[in-house]
Amino acid sequence: MSDPYARKLVNRSFYAAKDDVKGRVIVVLKGLLENRSLNLITPISRTFPAGTIIELIGTDEATAAPGVSVQRIAYLAFVELLDPAVLVAGDPVSINGKNVGTIVGFDDTHMPNHQNTILRMEKRISGADLGLHPGDHVCIHGISTTPS
């Protein structure tokens, strides 16, 4: 059988509706790298049980997408997901109600320890420089249904 993600048969439009996912910052990160070489996996989604820890990493690279390599990154935070989750490329992420970026993909470098979750940011800035703190509220926004 062939991978439907590799064949680009599945895209964000397959997700008709999806709950918001609540989380909390447990570790604030700082630092920028110009040559990280994160290899974003081809699948556009990942699933997680409640209590999973993910790492949020930002990039300002316009070409960042599933299946590509990302070089320019900013370390944001480790986040505990308080809800079971299906995260999908294109999901907006906010912290304390402020938009931080949009998920563009996932990198498996540290699996099974934690999933690198890459966000496209307007400006690449670290979690420390964003003023994040442990306990800050994270929301990974879902997909609302629209009336027909």
Task: Give DSSP secondary structure letters for 51-93.
Answer: T-EEEEEEE--TT--TTSEE--EEEEEEEEESS-EEEETT-EE
Burial class (CB in 10 A: 0-12, 13-18, 19+), 86: middle
Q: What's the pLDDT at 3?
A: 74
In whole angstroms, how far apart are CA 136 and each of 7, 15, 129?
38, 28, 14
Mean predicted confidence (pLDDT) in 11-32: 93
Per residue in 66-99, pLDDT (tens digit) is: 999 999 999 999 999 999 999 999 999 999 999 9
Q: Is the pTM of this model over 0.85?
A: yes
d(CA 26, CA 31): 17
Per DSSP, the chain holds a count of helices (H) and strands (E) of: 1, 12
Whether residue 66 is preceded by a cis peptide bond, meaning omega within 30 degrees of 0, is no
The dihedral built from the CA positions of residue 33, 6, 43 and 130, taken in this order, carries a sign that is: positive
